[in-house]
């Protein structure tokens, strides 16, 4: 049964549909794998063994059909799953079982997928390494002493370690793509508004975007199609048809990129990428040129201000969003001894329930929004966001997509960037501009540096998600997928 865990979602769906294997066998093989390796990887915060086997049995009985019937999926713990613990990797939500499902969870169920459990992450999706999880970090399957990326390190590690063929992540500043890059897997951030945020525990509402994680570009496209599309329960959901990302991935896999123009952002050059990352990126670019693509240098002069703007906008929105964790309606309550006031109990609850990075961002956001500082910080960051959007729009008049390394460095050892929070923020240098603009972007493996995976990022215009899948699939056909060492 070990073969089952190495198959793609496409292969599994076909074998289950033809009844060559049962959905229960597939679920059991993945649950066994989790049992065997997750004490070392720690990709999961909660494994729903009973729920997974019951869902698989329904598929085998023919009660559930759908394009991914019987295919297992892991879901990031920031997404509400009815009756299944959902903590956002925070102590403040320990033991919470949501009374409802996120829209994307309903869509996963309608597509016939089998949810294996909830994956580890940085607390409330704030971080780039999972070191800010209140329940301990996830270890990178490529080197257990290194970070799996973040915030969605658990989702990426679960597929890299063959614990699941598919996973759901959320991307606010790179939380799907950077973990994909450093674990040698594929991670896609759809167009903002292309996937519903209903039931996603909010961090930065104008940026948060759920999306797919997989081992192949086609698998990612399939999962993308299943979860995407208009949702009336999310007022920022785009009421338009989902681009044909599966068709685009299949077109790209034919290895022909004739006439496709790739934009190389001038301002990203010399921006502190490790030499091995730059080398793998350059080689991949040459591979794409051999497939017929044309490379054009473009200028995006405001991208250099994306990281500072993001670290004002995201903390500002988080300071407001996380006000709901007040020890009244759900989660932790601390210090309620009958004497203390509501305000004292709230303050004690929040100090005990939130970890250090969450507190830093709440305080930073409160500062950036306070009167006297608002114009200089939050207001100015919103103007810079406009200029970054214009940079993208201008670039896309000249080229079809923009390309860059996904993240400047390969998986780093635990503890090497936690003492200086800004050093951690630099992991998202290349991923953040897209979030501010709202367009889609994907990370696809493009080789190794010092034995560790490097990611190649493709950024596309808003609602042109298909373009990035085509280029990513073409690159995958040229450089192949990556296989981590045996665990």
Partner 1 sequence: MAISREEVAHLARLSRLAVTEQELDQFAGQLDVILQSVARVGEVAADDIPPTSHSVPLTNVYRDDVPQPCLTQEEALSGAPDAFEGRFRVPRILDEEA
Query: Known catalytic residues?
Result: 76, 151, 175
Please pick, from the candidates 299, 382, 416, 481, the single residue that binds partner 1 as defined by CB under 8 A.
382
Q: Which residues of 299-311 are buried (b: 16+ CB within 10 A; e: fewer)?
A: ebebbebbbebbb
78 lines the binding site for partner 1 (CB under 8 A): no
348 contributes a contact to partner 1 by CB under 8 A: yes
Least distance in angstroms from the C-beta of 206 to partner 1: 5
Q: Which of 290, 383, 393, 450 binds partner 1 (CB under 8 A)?
A: 383
Q: Within positions 445 to 464, which residues make up the interface with partner 1, using CB under 8 A?
A: 462
Judged by CB under 8 A, the residue of 367, 416, 464, 481 near partner 1 is: 367
For 32-110, where are the E strands, in sequence order?
Answer: 44-47, 72-76
Residue span 201-230 as binding mask against partner 1, x where in contact by CB under 8 A, dash where not = -----x------------------------
Length of the chain, in residues: 487
**Residue 92 Cβ, how far from partner 1 at the closest point, in Å?**
11
The pair of structure tokens assigned to 328 is 């009244």
Q: Does residue 235 touch partner 1 according to CB under 8 A?
A: yes
Is residue 331 within the footprint of partner 1 (CB under 8 A)? yes
Q: How many CA atoms lie within 13 A of 117 on its CB side?
A: 22
Q: How many CB atoms lie within 10 A of CB 205?
A: 15
Biggest CA–CA distance in the chain, Å, is 73
Binding to partner 1 by CB under 8 A, coded x per residue (else -) over 409-448, reads -----------xxx--x----------xxxx---------
* Residue 79 binds partner 1, judged by CB under 8 A: no
> Please, which residue, 40 or 233, has the CB nearer to partner 1?
233
88 lies in the site for partner 1, by CB under 8 A: no
Q: Which two tokens stand for residue 286?
A: 């040459």
Q: How far apart are CA 76 and CA 87, in angstroms?
A: 10
The reply to whether 91 sits near partner 1 by the rule CB under 8 A is: no
Q: Scanning the structure block, which residue is given the tokens 């598929």?
A: 59
Compare residues 28 and 347 and give the one whose CB is closer to partner 1. Answer: 347
Neighbour order of strands in the sheet with 72-76: 44-47, 114-119, 72-76, 166-171, 209-214, 186-189, 441-449, 452-459, 401-405, 261-265, 294-298
Token code pair at residue 276: 């091995």
Sign of CA dihedral 68, 154, 75, 26: positive
Residue among 3, 20, 343, 397 that touches partner 1 (CB under 8 A): 343
Residue 377 within binding range of partner 1, rule CB under 8 A: yes
Residue 283: CB minimum distance to partner 1, A: 32
């Amino acid at each position: 049964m070990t073969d089952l865990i190495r198959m793609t979602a496409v292969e599994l769906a076909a074998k289950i549909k033809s009844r060559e294997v049962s959905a229960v066998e597939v679920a059991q093989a993945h649950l066994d794998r989790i049992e065997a390796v997750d004490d070392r990887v720690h990709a999961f915060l909660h494994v729903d063994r009973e729920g997974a086997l019951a869902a698989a049995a329904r598929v085998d009985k023919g009660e559930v059909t759908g394009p991914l019937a019987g295919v297992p999926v892991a879901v990031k713990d920031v997404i509400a799953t009815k009756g299944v613990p959902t903590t956002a990797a925070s102590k403040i939500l320990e033991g919470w079982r949501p009374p409802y499902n996120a829209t994307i969870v309903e869509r996963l169920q309608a597509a016939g997928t089998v949810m294996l459990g909830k994956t580890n992450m940085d607390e409330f999706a704030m971080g780039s390494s999972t070191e800010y999880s209140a329940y301990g970090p996830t270890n990178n399957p490529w080197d257990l002493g290194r970070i799996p990326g973040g915030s969605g390190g658990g989702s990426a590690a679960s597929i890299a370690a063959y614990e699941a063929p598919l996973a759901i992540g959320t991307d606010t500043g790179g939380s799907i793509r950077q973990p994909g890059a450093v674990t040698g897997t594929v991670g896609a951030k759809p167009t903002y508004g292309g996937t519903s945020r209903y039931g996603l525990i909010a961090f930065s509402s104008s940026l948060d975007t759920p999306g797919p994680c997989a081992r192949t570009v086609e698998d990612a496209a399939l999962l993308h199609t299943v979860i995407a599309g208009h949702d009336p329960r999310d007022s920022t959901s785009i009421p338009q048809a989902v681009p044909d990302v599966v068709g685009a991935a299949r077109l790209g896999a034919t290895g022909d990129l004739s006439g496709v123009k790739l934009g190389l952002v001038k301002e990203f050059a010399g921006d502190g990428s490790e030499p091995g990352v730059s080398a793998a990126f350059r080689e991949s670019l040459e591979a794409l040129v051999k497939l017929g693509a044309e490379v054009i240098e473009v200028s995006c002069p405001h991208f250099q201000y994306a990281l500072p703007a993001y670290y004002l906008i995201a903390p500002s929105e988080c300071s407001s969003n996380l006000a709901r964790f007040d020890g009244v309606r759900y989660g932790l309550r601390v210090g309620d001894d009958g004497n203390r006031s509501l305000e004292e109990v709230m303050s004690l609850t929040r100090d005990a329930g939130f970890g250090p990075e969450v507190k830093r961002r709440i305080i930073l956001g409160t500062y950036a929004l306070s009167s006297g500082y608002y114009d200089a910080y939050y207001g100015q960051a919103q103007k810079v966001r406009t200029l970054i959007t214009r940079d993208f729009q201008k670039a896309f008049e000249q080229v079809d997509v923009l390309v860059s390394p996904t993240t400047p460095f390969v998986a780093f050892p635990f503890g090497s960037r936690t003492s200086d929070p800004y050093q951690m923020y630099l992991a998202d240098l290349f991923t953040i501009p897209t979030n501010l603009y709202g367009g889609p972007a994907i990370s696809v493996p493009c080789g190794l540096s010092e034995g560790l995976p490097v990611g190649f990022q493709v950024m596309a215009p808003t609602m042109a998600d298909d373009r990035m899948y085509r280029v990513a699939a073409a690159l995958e056909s040229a450089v192949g997928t990556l296989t981590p060492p045996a665990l």
